[in-house]
Amino acid sequence: MIYLWFMLTLRDHTSAAPSDLWIQLGAKRRQLLDRSWAGVFRDYLLLELPVEALAPHFSKDFGRPSKDLHVVLGALVLQQLHDLTDAQTVEAIAFNIAWQYALDVQSEADCYFCERTLRTYRRLVIKHHLDEVLFQSLTDKLIHSVGVNTRKQRIDSTGVQSFMRNLTRLGILVESTSKFLRQLRRTYPELYQGLDPELWRKYVVRTGDGCFASTLPSQSKRRLLEAAADIDALLRQFCPTEAAQLDSYHLLERVFEEQCERICEASGQSSIKMRDPHAISCDNTLNPADPDASYNKRRGVGYLIQVMETFCDDTDKDEEAEEATSAVSEVAKPDLITHMALGKMTVHDSKALLPAIKDTQARGVAPEHLLADTHYGSNQCIAYAKAKGVTLLAPSMPPKGKGQGKLTLEDFEVDASGHIQRCPAGRAPLEMSVSKKRLQVRFAIDVCDQCPLQEGCPIPGKERLQYTHERVKQRARRLSEQSATFRDQYRWRAGIEGTISRLKHQMGLAKLRVRGQSAVQYRVLLRALGLNIHRVAAWRGAFYPQRLFDRLLSALQGHQRVPGPYKPISGNTNRRFEVPTTRVYRCLSPLLERLFADPSTFDNISQNPDI
Ligand code: SF4
C-alpha cells in the first residue's frame, strides 16, 4: 500500500472559484470550449468521477500531497477519449487549455504529471475495477442529463485483438520457455546457476546452431518434440524449487498440458507425444504474452466485446418533433452506448444477452425493445428476454438445408394446428398422425417418384416426414420475419454496425497497444465512454441554435435588442436586429428575412412555431 505515503488531495469543484480562471479566454473561445467534449466533460461528468473509491488508498494527514483525484481520474478518461500515449497525455495536461478547462485544473501542482504517476494511477484503477465503475456511472449520468430514452436499444458483438502476434505451435512452446528462463534469471539467480547454458542460448540468446527461428516446415514435427522434451525437463528440474511459484512456470505447465501428453510405456519409461491439432481447444494459450486471448474461426484471435446502444426510430423522431417548440429544436437525442462487456472469443453471443439485460436493468437504463442479429435469436434467448420484460426482435437462424437449396417445412402449406395440408408440389398427404411430442405425415411414393421437386424435398426415400410442435412454432416465426412490418422494425439494427466501426477506427480499438484481459477491458470501456462523450458534444453543438433561437424569440416578442455574441450585418448597422454567424446564421437567416419583410409577423410568432 505505497499510496498511503501520499496525502489525499481533493479540491472543491462544486462552488465557483473566487476568480474565474478562464476569464482571459474571451466569450468566443469560452463558447467553443462549452460546445466541445471539454464542456460536456466539465458540465456533466467531472463531479461524477468515483474519487471516493480511490480515496481510501491515501493518507488523510500524512505524506506528500497527491494530485487532485478529480484531475487524475479525468485525465485517464480523456487519455482514452483521444487515444493518446502517456507522453502525449502529460503534455496535454500541462499545456492544453481544453484539457485544463475540462478537468477544472485549479492549481499549478495539478498541471504537471510524470508518466510514472499516470501509470501508477492507471494500475490502481484497473486493480480495483474502477474502469467498470467509470463507464457505468458516467454513462448513466450522460443518459439522464441529456434525457436519452433507453426504451429502444440494439446489441451486437465484435472481436478486438490485443498487441500480440500469431504464433505457430513451435512458436508458442519456444516463447513460453524463453519467458520462464528470463523470469528465472531475474527472480532466482541462484537457481539459474543450475540451468543448462545450452537452453539459455537456444531459447533466449537464439544464436548459433540448434535455434528454432530458422526451422524448415519439413523439420517442424521433429523440432516440436525437441522443444516439448526441453519443457518437460525444465518442469521436472524446477518443480521442487521456489521457481515453481513463478507465473511463467505455471504458464509453461499450462502450455505443456495443452500441446503435449506423456505416454507411459510398458517398460515403465515415459515418452512425450504432441496432441492432435484438431483436438486442441480454442481456449488454449495462443501467445504467452497474452494468455487470456482466445480464438474464434470467424473473428480470429483476441477478445469478444458486446456493445449495446440506444437508438431512435421514425416513431421516436416524430414524437420528439411534436414535443419540439420550434423547427430549429428538432434535434434528435444522441445514441449512447449503455452496455459494454469483454469476454472470450469462444463464448457464444446468446450467452451474453442475459448479462447485458441484467446490467442495464440494475442501472435503470434497460431496454423494453431490443434488436439483435440471428446469433441472439434462439427461442431460449427470446424466452429469457421476455421473462425480464424485454421484447427481443431477432431473426431465427435459417432452417437446415436452406442454404443448399433444399425444401424445408417453411415451403409446405401448414394449418394453424401444425398439420401439413399440401406439399410444395401441391399434393395432399395420404395420412397424418399427431403424438404429444411430434407430428408425422406420409405421402404416396409413386407420386413422389414422378415429382420434379423430389431432389430437394425431405420426403422421397423416407416416404414420411416427422417434425416437432416446437418446429411448427419456429416455422411460424420464420414466416413472420418475412413480413414488411418485421423488416421495417428490424432495419434499425444495422445502425450498430456504424457504432462498432467508430469504436474500432475513430476510437482506436482496432489497434490496441496493450496485452492481457484487464488492460484490454480498461481501454474498451473508457473508449466506449469517450464515444458517448463525443456524441453528446455533437448533440450539444447541434442543439446550440435552438438556445439562440429561444433567446431571439423572446427578444423579438419584447421588441428588444438581441443579446448574445452575434456579428452585425456589415454595412448596415441601423438595423435593430443582428444576425448570428456560421451555423446559427444558416438556421435563422430565412426567419429573419421574413421578419424584416413583414414586421407584423412578430405578433404571430409565438402562435406559429413553424414559421
Ligand atoms: S417429392 Fe413428394 S412430397 Fe415432395 S414436393 Fe414432390 S410430391 Fe410433394
Helix (H) or strand (E) holding 191: helix 189-192
User: Residue 332: phi, psi to the nearest 5?
Assistant: -65, 145
Domain extent at residue 566 = 537-604
Residue 151 lies in a domain: no
Please check whether residues 390 and 492 belong to one and the same domain. yes
Residue 145 lies in a domain: no
Task: Judge if the beta carbon of residue 516 lies within 6 A of ligand 1.
Answer: no
Please check whether residues 388 and 502 belong to one and the same domain. yes
Q: Name the band, by pLDDT with cuts 50, 70 and 90, for residue 403.
A: confident
Please check whether residues 425 and 388 belong to one and the same domain. no
Dihedral (CA of 590, 592, 598, 600) sign: positive
Please check whether residues 173 and 244 belong to one and the same domain. yes
Average the pLDDT over 564-583 and give the result.
Answer: 39
Task: Judge if the beta carbon of residue 241 lies within 6 A of ligand 1.
Answer: no
Domain count for the chain, please give it: 5
304: left (phi over 0), alpha (psi -120 to 50) or beta: beta
CB 308 within 8 A of CB 339: yes
* Helical axes 379-387 vs 350-362, angle rounded to 10°: 10
Question: Can you tell me the distance from the alpha carbon of 376 to that of 363, in angstroms, rounded to the nearest whole number?
Answer: 22
Residue 190 lies in a domain: yes
Please check whether residues 275 and 308 belong to one and the same domain. no
Please check whether residues 325 and 176 belong to one and the same domain. no
| Spatial CA neighbour of 156 closest among 365, 373, 382 | 373
User: Looking at 476, 500, 521, which one is the last position of a domain?
Assistant: 476
Q: What is the pLDDT of residues 102-145, one digit of tens each?
A: 998 888 888 888 999 999 999 999 999 999 999 999 999 999 99
User: Looking at 256, 279, 302, which one is the last position of a domain?
Assistant: 279
Give the number of the atom of ligand 1 that is nearest the alpha carbon of residue 454: 1
Please check whether residues 368 and 502 belong to one and the same domain. yes
Task: Judge if the beta carbon of residue 457 lies within 6 A of ligand 1.
Answer: yes
One-letter amino acid of 516: G
Please check whether residues 466 and 368 belong to one and the same domain. no
One-letter amino acid of 288: P
Q: How many residues does the chain have?
A: 611
Of 410, 413, 432, 453, the one to substitute when testing ligand 1's pocket (max ligand atoms within 8 A of C-beta) is 453
Residue 596 lies in a domain: yes
Please check whether residues 345 and 417 belong to one and the same domain. no
Residue holding cell 469560452? 30
Please check whether residues 518 and 555 belong to one and the same domain. no
Q: What is the pLDDT of residues 298-332, one digit of tens each?
A: 888 999 999 999 998 877 666 665 665 444 445 67
Angle at 4 between CA 2 and CA 9, to 5 degrees: 125
In a 3-state reduction of DSSP, which class is residue 272?
Answer: strand
Question: Can you tell me the distance from the alpha carbon of 272 to that of 147, in angstroms, rounded to the nearest whole number?
Answer: 64
Kindly calculate the radius of gyration of the chain based on its CA atoms and give it in whole angstroms.
Answer: 33
Please check whether residues 355 and 496 belong to one and the same domain. yes
Helix (H) or strand (E) holding 577: none
Please check whether residues 382 and 502 belong to one and the same domain. yes
Per-residue pLDDT, 440: 92
Q: What is the pLDDT of residues 207-225, one digit of tens each?
A: 877 777 777 777 777 889 9
CB 467 within 8 A of CB 417: no
